[in-house]
Amino acid sequence: MTLKFLLVGALALGLAPLGAMADTWQERDDWAALFQEHDAEGTLLVVDQRQDVQAAWVHDAERARQRFVPASTFKVPHTLFALDAGVADDEFQVFDWDGIERGFPAWNADQDLRSGMRNSTVWLFQYFARELGEESERRYLEAINYGNAEIGDDLENFWLEPGNLEVSAEEQVDFLQRLYRNELPFDEADQRLVKDLMIGEAGRDWILRAKTGWSGEYGWWTGWVEWPSGPVFFALNIDTPNRMEDIPKREAIVREALRGLEALP
């Protein structure tokens, strides 16, 4: 599939590439108040591509272009890597727990792709990393133009530790847009499967697909809400100086912002 074809298809759907909208980001004063209300420092980028809207809003545009470790939001592209390489066959394959007790009870059991995504099971994706190896991980990262595409010296933790793989909120949204359109360099069936694994909630006419992430220092929530009129993409990252106490702020801020846009019930 050629780049020209992809661009024409995107325009036909009314889905302008993020880069084409970056110069028209609108800062939201009400979102600044929202972050202040939740005692949070961070950024939120929302690209609304519903047919009757076509706009992009941001809180702290400078930070939206700043790269941070993706933490478990990387499980979305990482699952695509594993499927493409044959490390994972499908959503039904069971991966045996290694018997090591970890701090999250849901991790102390066998996993499949769905539970691994839902529970953000780190050991499963560390297994994928070992099976893929450094060369394949780098090749995949470069192929999808994901952040700085750096792995560093720690194959099992490069998406978790600062100083290795880093990505911005802007780049997160760009990746999600390409996944939404099945434009990534993977089988369409694998892209559709990963999108299915991301489903968190759904209503009669909308679907929320998203993934959280937390490095200890920073928290993420990225994804999109699908409507009949088009998708609404979002990427938030915040500092988490109070660690676990700050975790609920991720979804709370995004949900309130999206509801203000009538992008989430």
How far apart CA 187 and CA 36 sit, in angstroms, is: 43
Q: Where are the beta strands (DSSP E) in 196-265?
A: 199-202, 207-214, 218-227, 230-239
How far apart CA 265 and CA 258 sit, in angstroms, is: 8
Closest CA to 184 of 214, 146, 241, 235: 146
Catalytic, out of 72, 120, 168, 215: 72
The answer to whether 72 is a known catalytic residue is yes
Do 127 and 157 touch, CB atoms closer than 8 A? no
Q: Would the CA dihedral through 124, 128, 131, 137 be positive or negative?
A: negative
How far apart CA 168 and CA 24 sit, in angstroms, is: 18
How far apart CA 106 and CA 5 sit, in angstroms, is: 43
How far apart CA 47 and CA 56 sit, in angstroms, is: 4
Closest CA to 265 of 230, 212, 227, 223: 227
Q: Which residues are known to be catalytic?
A: 72
